[in-house]
Structure 1
Amino acid sequence: MTDDASKNQKPDPITERILAMIEDGGSVSPQEVAQAFYKDTKTPGMPADGWHKYMTAVRQQAIHLARQGRLQITRKGEPVDPNNFKGVVRLRKMPPAQP
Structure 2
Amino acid sequence: MSQLIEDTILVLLSQVRDGESISPNDVAKTIDRENWQRELPKIRAVIIGLARQEKLQVLRKGKPIEPEGFKGVYRVRLPVAE
* Both proteins in one fold, TM over 0.5: yes
1:22 aligns with 2:13: yes
What's the counterpart of residue 66 of structure 2?
A: 81
What runs of 5+ residues in structure 2 fail to find an aligned partner? Answer: none
Paired letter, 1:56? P
CA distance in 1, matches of 2:32, 2:43: 11
Paired letter, 1:19? L
Deviation by residue 1:12-32 (Cα, 9 ceiling, x = unmatched): 000000011112333111111
CA distance in 1, matches of 2:76, 2:67: 11
What's the counterpart of residue 34 of structure 1?
A: 28
- Number of residues of Structure 1 aligned to a counterpart in Structure 2: 78
CA distance in 2, matches of 1:63, 1:73: 8
User: SS state of the match for residue 79, structure 1?
Assistant: strand
TM-score by length of 1: 0.72
CA distance in 1, matches of 2:37, 2:71: 18
Larger Rg: 1
Describe how 1:24-63 pairs up with structure 2 within 5 A: 24=16, 25=18, 26-39=20-33, 48=34, 50-63=35-48
Provide the aligned C-alpha RMSD in A. Answer: 1.5
User: SS state of the match for residue 59, structure 2?
Assistant: strand
TM-score by length of 2: 0.86
Paired letter, 1:14? I
CA distance in 1, matches of 2:9, 2:70: 19
